[in-house]
Amino acid sequence: MKTLIIFLRSCIYVLFLIVTVIPYSILSLMTFALPLNIRYKIITFWPKIALFGLKFICNLQCHIKGIDRIPTQPLIIVSNHQSIWETLFFIAYFPKKICFIYKKELNYIPFFGWGLILLDMIAINRSDGFNSFKKVSEIGTEKLKHNYSILIFPEGTRAPSGKIQKFKIGASLLAKNTRCNILPIVHNAGNFWKKNSFMIQPGIIQLSIGDVITIDSLTPGEINIIIYEWIKKEFDKINCQDHINQN
């Protein structure tokens, strides 16, 4: 019975997303001539709608630890990647303007891709290696100057729940190139909304925000190790506590 209820709630939620995203995408297209700051405020309201539906339809909520650690200046945000949830959360509720780095194929998704294009984020070709990083560095520098924070998922793709995959070094290289500090963040959203899964489990996602990592004289390799070790340790702590709470 429990599985059936979760299945029905997940079905209703998907329908809710479809019903809201189509008209909202059409509304978003009408903002193309407006300044980017205004477009950002209008378009990023839909993820708030999506998370509202997630809470009241699927009973999936979030508890945030360390919100006071977010500084006022722009920075590079590094997070693990497990679910669709975090892409909605960061742009909806993070108290700073966010610029995603994402694979350009997402631009071709009807409705959703249109919003990404209008937000003027950083779309890259993953197979383009050095040229992709050069693009990220150039556009990222400009975004930081305009008070945007850059969000990077160093795993490169969504990981299975309960796992942290090897980190690529792009975020650390970008930090050195832009002389921008890093804010590490970790969550366990994959325990509730798994990669490539239709079913959304009820519960409370734990999201933890770490202390800002000052890059100073650190090498990109050293930065990458520091980020990974903090995220892995905090991730294990979150999952251990979550397991205790469930029992």
pLDDT in tens, 189-239: 999 999 888 899 999 999 999 999 998 889 999 999 999 999 999 999 998
Q: What is the model's pLDDT at position 108?
A: 82
Per residue in 87-121, pLDDT (tens digit) is 899 988 887 789 988 888 888 887 778 888 888 88
The class that CATH gives domain 2-246 is alpha beta
Per residue in 155-171, pLDDT (tens digit) is 988 888 888 999 999 89
CA–CA separation, 99 and 150 (whole Å): 5
How many other CB atoms sit within 10 Å of the CB of residue 241? 12
| CB proximity list for 77: less than 8 A, separation 6 or greater | 90, 94, 98, 149, 150, 151, 152, 182, 183, 185
Decide if 143 contacts 121 (C-beta within 8 A). Answer: no
Chain-centroid distance of CA 104 in Å reads: 16
Task: Report which residue type is found at 111.
Answer: F
Q: Considering the entire predicted model, what is its pTM?
A: 0.90
